[in-house]
Structure 1
């Protein structure tokens, strides 16, 4: 079995507080005197490295300065912005996928057909230039196309 004994503080053993008019014990009007420890040594030098402290550590040390309602509002704002950014990026990615696949499925065949048509037009121009050159060399001579069209007897 454990026996408890009360050990009185040296400071209070020498000076017993007197009850006041409302039966409240007040040692003195100056309450700071009771809670100061004059015998302890306050170290001027600290082993804490301020230069090695990161920005995150500094901000997390300041969290007690900001009231809880402001912290909650800031957290909600950050959550809203991040969720909006994530959904915007996801939507943009899906839209980009749709546009790029549509361009490949519709644009590539159209570009190939357009290039082929341009090639036919260029070939017709070349044939027209050859025909014009032949007429200049031998005026009135039938062209090769006219010779093919005339029946041979």
Structure 2
């Protein structure tokens, strides 16, 4: 905590570089309040946060800085590992799963084509041999 003392300028012999021509204590407090209001209006939030450095003890600042540094380092490592994991999964999917999917699609097309050919042959056989049991006779016969 700060302790404020009022020192009479006459006792000091005016040797202080901060002494002014005003001898009353109220005049000096008036000038201080006007200086404070001017400074607070020009101060930005960043400057106020920077001024907090003086309030926090050095050991606490070091502890906070080391914890923030460790957290940032851990986050960076985790991001790197996660990125590598995603890279491996993505490239594996492109190199293995995509060709497999294309091969399965081609096989399905071949199977579908064979099925259509069998249906066409069955349809042609039905047209040539009407009257067999279980087969439909086309109209007009």
TM tier, shorter chain?
Answer: 0.5 to 0.7
Task: Tell whether 2:89 aligns with 1:104.
Answer: no
The structural deviation recorded for 1:52 is 5.6
Instruction: Give the secondary structure class of the aligned counterpart of 2:33.
Output: coil
Aligned pair count? Answer: 109
Number of the residue aligned with 1:93 = 83
Residues 121 and 66 of structure 1: is their aligned pair in 2 closer, same or farther, counting only changes over 3 Å?
A: same
Report which of the two has the higher share of helix.
2
TM-score (ref. length: structure 2): 0.64
Q: How many Å separate the matches in 2 of 1:52 and 1:133?
A: 92
Q: 2:44 matched to 1:53?
A: yes
2:11 matched residue in structure 1: 11
CA radius of gyration, larger in: 1
TM-score by length of 1: 0.59
In structure 1, list runs of 5 or more residues that go unmatched.
1-8, 14-35, 141-153
Deviation per residue, 1:102-126 (Å, 9 max, x gap): 1111122212211110111110111
Output the aligned Cα RMSD.
Answer: 2.8
Q: Which runs of 4+ in 1 moved over 4 A?
A: none
Classify 1:57/1:10 alpha carbon distance in 2 versus 1 (closer, same or farther; 3 Å): closer
The one of the two structures with greater contact order (alpha-carbon pairs below 8 A, sep at least 6) is 2
Counterpart selection for 1:130 from 120, 125, 136: 120
